[in-house]
Amino acid sequence: MQLADSSLDAKRQELAKEYARLTRWLSFVELAVVGALLLILVFGGVSARLSHLLAFPQPWASALYFVFLAIGLGIITLPLTYYQGFVLPRRYGLSNQKFMGWLADGAKASALGMVLGLAIVLALYWLLDRVPNTWWLWASVVLLLLTLLLTRLTPTLLLPLFFKLQPLDDAELNERLANLAKRARTQVCGVFTIDLSSKGTTANAMIAGLGNTRRIILSDTLLDQYSHEEVAVILAHELGHHLHRDIPKLIAVQAVVVLLAFCLANLVLKASVGALGFQGIADVAAFPLLVLSLAAFALVVTPLVNAYSRYLETSADEAALELTASPRAFVTAMRKLTDQNLGVAQPSRWVEFLFYDHPSYTRRVNLARRYLAETS
C-alpha cells in the first residue's frame, strides 16, 4: 500500500511562511514594548512614585496597580493587537469575522482576563503579605488548582462565551468516534460541534474538559471538508493524549515550571529590597518587577517545554496510527490541515525548537511512512 500524495499547495506554503514571519516579528515588537515599559517603571523610579498614590493595604493596592497597568498596556499595544488579531488573519484568509464581532470577542476576552488576573494578583499579594517566607509554594498550589478548574470549565463555560456548541447530528460519525474513544479507554460525555466557521476558516478538533465535563469537540469547518476516516484519525490523535495520560503529565510539568518561576521571583524580590529600596517583597512598587521576573523565566523555559510537548505530540501521532491503522488518512488529514490553517510544513530547526509545540508537517508525514513500512 502506498501513501497518498503528500505534496502541499505551493502558494499556501508561501503565504504560511509570510504569515508566520510577520506574526513572529509582531510578537517580538510587543514583547519589546511591554518589557521596556516594565523596566522603565522599575528602574526609572516611576513605580515607586505611583505607589504613593495607592495608599491602600495589601492585596488591594496591588490589585489596583494591576488594573491600571493592564489598561495602560492594553492602550499602548492596541495598534499591534488590532493589526495582529484582526488585519493579518483577514488578509491571509484565516478570518471572516467583521470588526464589531472581533471587538466584542476582544472585550469579552479582556474582561475574562481582567477577572482572572485580579483573582491571581489578590491571592499572590495576600500570600506575599501574610506568609512572605513560603508564599511561592502556596502561590504554586493556587495556580495549579485554578488550572484544573479552568480545564474543567472550558467546554461548559469558557468556549460557549465565544462559540455555539451543539451535539453532533451525524449518527454514523458519532458512533464511530464513541467507539474510538472506548478503544482508547477514554470516557467522554458526548460529541459536539463548534461553529468555527462563524469567525474563521481554520479547522480543529479537541477533547476538552475534565471528568464529567470531558467531551469531543469538532469544528464545523472540519466536518464540512474532511472524510469520516480523516476526522477519526485526527480525533484519534487527541485520544492518544488521554491514552498516554499526557494531560496529567503536562499539568505536572506546568506545576513544576510555575513553582520554579515563583522561586526565582522570590529571590529577585528579596534582592530588590536592598538594591532598589523597596519596603519589602510585598511592596506594591515592586509589582512590575514581579511581572518581569515571571515573564523572563517563561521566555527562557518555553523552548524546553515546547520540546517536551513535541515529544508528547509525536507519541499521540503514533497512537492515532495504531488506533486507526489508517496512515493514508493520517497523511491526507495532515496535508489538509496544514494547507487550511496556513501551517509551515518544514520550518528551520531553530524556529521549530524555539516556537513550535507540535512537530512539523514533514516530521508527521515521515512518521506515517515509517509506520507503513513497519506494518506492511
Say how far apart CA 163 and CA 227 lie, in whole Å: 23
Query: pTM for the whole thing?
Result: 0.91
Share of the chain above pLDDT 90, in %: 90
Domain assignment of residue 179, yes or no: no
Residues in Cβ contact with 186 at an 8 Å cutoff, skipping those fewer than 6 apart: 207, 214, 239, 242, 243
Domain assignment of residue 196, yes or no: no
Residue 4 has pLDDT above 80, yes or no: no
Confidence (pLDDT) at 65: 94
pLDDT tens, residue by residue, 271-320: 998 888 888 999 999 999 999 999 999 999 999 999 999 999 999 999 99
Q: How confident is the model at residue 337 (pLDDT cuts 50, 70, 90)?
A: very high
pLDDT tens, residue by residue, 132-167: 999 999 999 999 999 999 999 999 999 999 999 999
pLDDT tens, residue by residue, 17-72: 999 999 999 999 999 999 999 999 999 888 888 888 887 888 999 999 999 999 99
Residue 186 has pLDDT above 90, yes or no: yes
Q: Half-sphere exposure of 259 toward its Cβ, with a 13 Å CA cutoff?
A: 11
Residue 6 has pLDDT above 70, yes or no: no
Confidence (pLDDT) at 2: 53
Question: Residue 347 carries which side chain, given as an amino acid letter?
Answer: P
Domain assignment of residue 180, yes or no: no
pLDDT tens, residue by residue, 212-242: 999 999 999 999 999 999 999 999 999 999 9
Say how far apart CA 26 and CA 31 lie, in whole Å: 9
Domain assignment of residue 367, yes or no: yes
Say how far apart CA 145 and CA 141 lie, in whole Å: 6
Number of domains in the chain: 1
Domain assignment of residue 217, yes or no: no
Q: How confident is the model at residue 7 (pLDDT cuts 50, 70, 90)?
A: confident
Q: What residues make up the domain containing 131?
A: 10-164+242-375
Alpha-carbon distances of 217 from 38, 167, 192, 278, 283, rounded to whole Å: 39, 9, 5, 49, 45
Q: How confident is the model at residue 3 (pLDDT cuts 50, 70, 90)?
A: low
Q: Where are the alpha helices (DSSP H) in the chain?
A: 10-43, 46-51, 60-76, 78-82, 88-91, 99-130, 135-153, 171-183, 220-225, 228-243, 246-275, 287-324, 327-340, 349-355, 361-375
Domain assignment of residue 211, yes or no: no
Query: Reduced to 3 states, what is the DSSP secondary structure of residue 325?
Result: coil
Domain assignment of residue 289, yes or no: yes
Q: Are 327 and 3 in contact (CB under 8 A)?
A: yes
Average pLDDT over residues 342-360: 95
Domain assignment of residue 190, yes or no: no
